[in-house]
Copies of this chain bind each other. A is one copy, B any other.
Amino acid sequence: MNIGDAAKATSLSPKTIRYYESINLVVGDRLTNGYRNYADAHIHKLRFVQRARGLGFSIDDCRALLSLYEDQNRASAEVKNIAKKHLQEIEAKISELQGLRETLSHLVAHCAGDHRPDCPIMDGLSGVLHDTSEDESRLH
């Protein structure tokens, strides 16, 4: 299987597959003409990585997960630890973004959005804290 077909089979781009090879994540075979060649086992690994990346796992996590994937004697606890850590990171990110959304949606809601220069959003960014002490806590 050439790289183009492997790309179609894995929903990855040829570029990405070459990149994964360059970082030694998934390395396929080579034909005598220099073309990369992918067997089923490679395709499975690439798809595995594609799904893991789709779940937001870092390349380093993918590397660890791949080696567990190949390990017949793995303990599921190891997999679970990686996943739990990633889950916590996701939850932290969600919290952070929810905080930003809070602040931003308040600012946006209070801005007239017309032709005049007066703007609570600008005031907020300038450090002119207008209303409540909540706003201050949001911006510091």
Contacts and interface: CB of A to CB of B under 8 A. Distances in A.
Given A101-B91, A125-B65, A73 B114 contact: no
Contacts of A19: none
Interface of A: 44, 47-48, 51-52, 54-56, 65, 68-69, 71-77, 79-81, 83-84, 86-87, 90-91, 93-94, 97-98, 100-101, 103-105, 107-108, 111-119, 121-122, 124-127, 139
A127 B77 CA distance: 20
Q: Can you tell how many copies of this chain the complex includes? A: 2
Nearest to A11: B140
Contact of A80 (B97, B101, B119): B119
B48 A125 contact: yes
A107 B91 CA distance: 15
A56 B100 contact: yes
A80 B90 CA distance: 29
A115 B69 contact: no
Nearest to A86: B104
